């Protein structure tokens, strides 16, 4: 099984325990969401910076050599990493094998016959404005998670962005990953948490060590959403169903 999926399942169990009403729940500190890094250039240097904040996984895009891949794997020290396929980096241009724990794929370019790695996870990359007719089919596809990019750069996140993410959340029952900038605010992260995002994908880019450290500290200080006793005992995955905020935004 994919080590990334194993980490997400572990986070799910820890979160349900920490949300409970025992004395230990007051001292335990489970992150509000999982954190996955994304590296598309300066791979070795970016991996070195990213290793400081102990991500749950790392997406690798762009061009890198086998030697660089070995250094990246050593630098990440056990953190599972995956490879990006898509319009810019097609499937045929990437080596597929035991080095990768998960794959980021697209609907129109990923050959189904090539999805034969039972030990890896497949993450479907879709546009934020994907139509409902497409979203309704994702549940039947052989993918484990859905990835969308919140393309806001340094601009603030709007209710419209939340509405789009909420629409996706209500249509799928798979892990939901959202790519965010390092400049995202605690309030925006809380809204993503409340609407049902499972994983934040952080574009490392040229971010400094301090910026990454500050982001991880901010994420650790975001409380997990408080749930009722009944909700805390239901479900076996990180996904617990749509949050009421999702319904309110879509009404």
Residue-by-residue DSSP string for 170-193: HH--SEEEEEE-TT--HHHHHHHH
- Residues 43-90 have pLDDT tens digits of 999 999 999 899 999 999 888 888 998 999 999 988 999 998 865 554
Q: Give the Cα separation of 102 and 114 in Å (integer).
A: 13
Segment (H or E) for 200: strand 199-203
pLDDT computed for residue 37 by the predictor: 94
For residue 97, what pLDDT band results from cuts at 50, 70 and 90? low
Instruction: Give 247's pLDDT tier (boundaries 50, 70, 90).
Output: low
Mean pLDDT along residues 28-42: 83
Percent of the chain with pLDDT over 90: 49
d(C-alpha 1, C-alpha 106), whole Å:
21
Q: What is the pLDDT of residue 62?
A: 86
Q: pLDDT tens-digit profile of 176-200? A: 999 998 889 999 999 999 999 999 9
The pLDDT, as a whole number, for residue 14 is: 74
CA-based R_g, the chain, Å:
18
Higher pLDDT, 20 or 207: 207
């Amino acid at each position: 099984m994919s080590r990334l999926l194993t980490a997400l399942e572990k986070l799910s169990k820890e979160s349900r325990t920490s949300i409970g009403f025992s004395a230990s729940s007051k001292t335990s500190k489970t992150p509000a969401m999982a954190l996955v890094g994304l590296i598309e250039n300066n791979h070795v240097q970016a991996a070195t910076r990213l290793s400081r904040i102990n991500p749950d996984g790392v997406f690798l895009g762009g061009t890198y050599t086998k030697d660089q891949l070995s250094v990246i794997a050593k630098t990440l020290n056990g953190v599972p990493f995956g490879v990006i396929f898509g319009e810019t980096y097609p499937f045929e241009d990437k080596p597929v094998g035991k080095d990768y724990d998960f794959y980021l794929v697209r609907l129109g370019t990923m050959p189904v016959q090539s999805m034969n790695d039972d030990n890896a996870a497949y993450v479907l990359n879709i546009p934020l404005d994907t139509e409902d007719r497409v979203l309704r089919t994702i549940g039947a596809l052989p993918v484990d998670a859905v990835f969308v990019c919140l393309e806001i750069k340094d601009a603030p996140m709007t209710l419209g962005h939340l509405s789009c993410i909420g629409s996706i959340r209500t249509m799928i029952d798979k892990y939901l990953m959202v790519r965010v900038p390092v400049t995202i605010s605690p309030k925006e992260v809380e809204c993503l948490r409340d609407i049902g995002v499972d994983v934040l994908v952080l574009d490392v880019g040229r971010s400094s060590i301090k910026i990454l450290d500050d982001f991880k500290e901010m994420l650790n200080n975001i409380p997990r959403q408080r749930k009722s006793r009944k909700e805390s005992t239901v479900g076996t995955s990180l996904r617990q169903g749509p949050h009421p905020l999702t319904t309110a935004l879509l009404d």
